[in-house]
Structure 1
Amino acid sequence: MKAAQIAQYAADLPRATAFYTDLLGAAPIASFDPPGLVFFDLDGQRLLLDRGAPPALHYYLVDDVDATVERLRAAGTPVESEPHVIFTHRDDLLGPSGTEEVHAFVRDTEGNLVGLIEHRALG
């Protein structure tokens, strides 16, 4: 089984679309208004911004969590939690063996919490 779509609450679609375009580094693949739906492609899984969806907490794998947090902070994004190590991958079960899982959390323009993850090489 593969997850097909994540629905995310967005009261202001243009504002939320701009935030996720910046965060994901890609423009939406489709928009339908009405009823108020914006779709992004996440490597075969869809992110749906929808006025009628409930809030959701989702995590994005990034290459450099520190740089991503600083870029978002400079754009005015509230940072809820600075980058910090969650655990070390001793095997490949949840991520690449020999890396630390580093998380940070920000708020999108609609008040939803967004997790950022980096698999950082031990060093």
Structure 2
Amino acid sequence: MEPDGRRLVQVAQRVEDLARARAFYADLLGVEPVATFDPPGLVFFDVGGVRLLLDRGAPSGLVYLRVDDLPATVERLRESDVHVESEPHVIFGHDDDTLGPAGTDEWMAFITDSEGNLVGLVEQRPRA
């Protein structure tokens, strides 16, 4: 935890169909939710110690999720009829440790979730 106690606790994402979104994110993240409250229409996932809240009342956000193997993840999702907005590509290289490990390239792809929200998938790979 940061010395002054600041850290990201929760990110909310808009959903229309809670059951559909729950199934989509359980598949994408490879884990079941930690809590569901319906009503009022809330599902919580633990993503590395940060709560991802699927909420019928939230505005749409752009969430970026780290994956271990970006091409394999995109292919698996494509085979499940998930719309791929943008194929894996290098966004930038990390020359220092400011935003990621020095000497790695940041790869991203974008998909559309079950509710029409754009989701970024991120992998950091050592430079070739």
Normalising by structure 2, we get a TM-score of 0.94
**CA-CA distance at 1:87 after TM superposition:** 0.8
Tell me which residue corresponds to 2:77: 72
- What is the root-mean-square deviation of aligned Cα atoms in Å? 0.6
Give the aligned residue type for 2:54.
Answer: L
**Residue 81 in structure 1 maps to residue 86 in structure 2:** yes
Q: Could you tell me which runs of 5 or more consecutive residues in structure 1 were left unpaired when the two chains were aligned.
A: none
Deviations 1:24-49 (A, max 9, x none): 11000000011010000112110000
Q: Report percent identity of matched pairs.
A: 63
Match of residue 95, structure 1, among 81, 88, 100: 100
Give the aligned residue type for 1:29.
Answer: V
Tell me which residue corresponds to 1:122: 127
Give the aligned residue type for 1:104.
Answer: A
The structure 1 segments of at least 4 consecutive aligned residues displaced by more than 6 Å after TM superposition are: none
> How many corresponding residue pairs?
123
Give the aligned residue type for 1:28.
Answer: P
Tell me which residue corresponds to 1:51: 56
**CA-CA distance at 1:19 after TM superposition:** 0.5
Deviations 1:60-88 (A, max 9, x none): 11111111100110001000000010111
Tell me which residue corresponds to 1:35: 40
**CA-CA distance at 1:122 after TM superposition:** 1.0
Match of residue 30, structure 2, among 13, 22, 25: 25
